[in-house]
A and B are shown apart, each in its own frame.
Chain A
Amino acid sequence: MERNNKIAAISAAICFLEKNITVIFFFLMLCLLMIQVICRYYLHLPLAWVEEMIRYIYIGVGFLGAAVAVKERGHIEINILPSILKGILKSNHKVRKVLMFTDVIVYIIGTGFWTYIVYTMTHYMLEVKAQNQLSVAMEIPMWIIVAIIVISSILCAFHYLFNLILIFHLQKTLDTGEEEVLKQHE
């Protein structure tokens, strides 16, 4: 029990960090977009590096935010299973049991899937690094941008694993999506 609480705390702390970095990246991206507009229409400055930077920050927002969404189950899901189960099983208790079981499967698949992405992206990162590819405008090594994806993928895999451990600890599903459906039918 003690250890599980620790795991919950670690996962929440990581998520908190990710979320704040994502928020900063997102806001920075919007500010740079605005700077781009101003520079282009009023100052007529060549700002190829701003555009490049926006694109790379967007990659950061996308992948880091994805890790947060894994933790919070904020990804796009098709949530028809609870209604169907409700139709078949009638009892909310049984529905929750089955959903817990399917969620365990989902978290196992998720952990495996992101572990594979970590593996293949790391491999790719090393390849890009060996080729010495540089970004055109800012001349930053391209492997650093791939590294952002690698780190985010590690976090995604971790969150799936954390969720898996938590579900055994709490003995219930972690999202609230199905509660809406179950309440509606009560």
Chain B
Amino acid sequence: GEKEASADGQKKVVLHVGSTVATTHAWYRAAEQMKDEVYEKSNGSIELVLDFGGVHGGDREITEAVQNGTLGMAWAADIGYATVFPEIGYVNLPYLFPSQEDVDSTYYNGWIGESVKSTMEKKGMEILGFTDSDFRYLTNSKQPVQKPDDLKNLKIRTPQNPMYVKFFTEIGCQPTAMNITEVASALQQKAIDGQDNGPILTYTFGFYQFQPYLTRTNHAFAGAALFTSKATMDKLSPEQQSIIRELGAKYADVSLKMMREDVAVFEKEMADNGVQLLDSTPELDALFKEAAKKVWNDPEATKNFDQEVMKKLLEQ
């Protein structure tokens, strides 16, 4: 009943919220709270329906669905929605953000976040709030990775991103791009040996069941956002719009705090389940940084990115 009216005469709308992550993920927990508060504040005129677990397909499909208004909003990693908007691919450049402080100051609250927002706006999208996705660590089923030789011929799943394919080829792996919703069965069937998500996704997607070795390589960082689109906002009254904007920003931040707490919890949970968690080594770091440098300076790998931003980044 999309067309029923709520108590105070506002037009009642049902907004589907899509995401690929599982219901154990902080995004889902935050979205559940958001759903209740949105319903309450809008006097029942906005109902959020949470379609998590990839029921609407991978990040590319979900982002397209938000863009054309099929889905009301979505939580997705920047690396996911960048498949539809390759201009913003620079946010995932290896070693762009060395620490969490850098993420907060230059990305979420800084100039990089602003340029992501403005690019998205031109495509009819509206970012309600930034949140974390994950560190990029390396997990695999073959052996503990501590030196460059351990990486040789590991078949690694990468996000659907040519830059990562290049990066992993540089360090000696066999990269294969696939949707995150297919990774668990690929790991279980041994179609791939490993993947490069951190504790949050490795735990909530259940990848750790097939991945006894994790190395904290931290070769890149993936941020994320809760976003909607102009198509959806236009269906709402001004009051409803401001509720979505206010609570979207609030709960993106709620999920961010939850996730940063989850890191330690999930790492411990994985360790208890027999996953060997290792720190990176100077040898390994050197190899990764060398490969990163090549990616940064390869015009072919960065050709689809916003060139103005790219120029600014290279100057720094």
**Direct contact between the two chains A and B in their complex (CB within 8 A):** yes
Asked if residues B162 and A48 are in contact (CB atoms below 8 Å), the reply is no
Q: How large is the interface on B (under 10, 10 to 19, 20 to 34, 35 or more residues)?
A: 10 to 19
Q: Is the CB of A46 within 8 A of B174?
A: yes
**How many angstroms between the C-alpha atoms of A48 and B175 in the bound complex?**
7
CB distance from A181 to the nearest CB of B (A): 40
Q: CA separation between A40 and B189, bound complex, in Å?
A: 14
For B162, the chain A residues whose CB sits under 8 A away are 134, 136-137, 139
Closest residue of chain B to A136 (Cβ to Cβ) is B177
| B83 within 8 Å of A (CB atoms) | yes
A3, CB-defined interface residue at 8 Å: no
Interface string of A16-53 (1 = CB under 8 A from B): 00000000000000000000000010001111100110
Stretch at the interface among B9-17, B109-117, B153-161, B235-243: B153-161
Which interface residue of B60, B160, B161, B176 has the most chain A CB atoms within 10 A?
Answer: B176
Contact A132 B175 (CB under 8 A): no
Give the number of chain A interface residues (Cβ < 8 Å). 16
**28 residue pairs from A and B, CB less than 8 Å apart:** A44-B174, A45-B174, A46-B169, A46-B174, A46-B175, A47-B174, A48-B165, A48-B175, A48-B176, A48-B177, A51-B176, A52-B177, A127-B68, A132-B86, A132-B304, A133-B60, A133-B83, A133-B86, A134-B86, A134-B162, A134-B304, A136-B160, A136-B161, A136-B162, A136-B177, A137-B162, A137-B165, A139-B162
Extra pairs beyond A127-B64, A133-B83, A136-B161 (15, CB < 8 Å) = A44-B174, A48-B165, A48-B174, A48-B175, A48-B176, A48-B177, A51-B176, A52-B177, A131-B84, A133-B60, A133-B84, A134-B162, A134-B304, A136-B162, A136-B165
Residues of A within 8 A of B (CB): 40, 44-48, 51-52, 127, 131-134, 136-137, 139
The 10 A-B residue pairs with the shortest CB-CB distance, nearest first, are: A46-B174, A136-B177, A44-B153, A136-B160, A48-B176, A136-B162, A48-B175, A51-B176, A137-B177, A136-B165
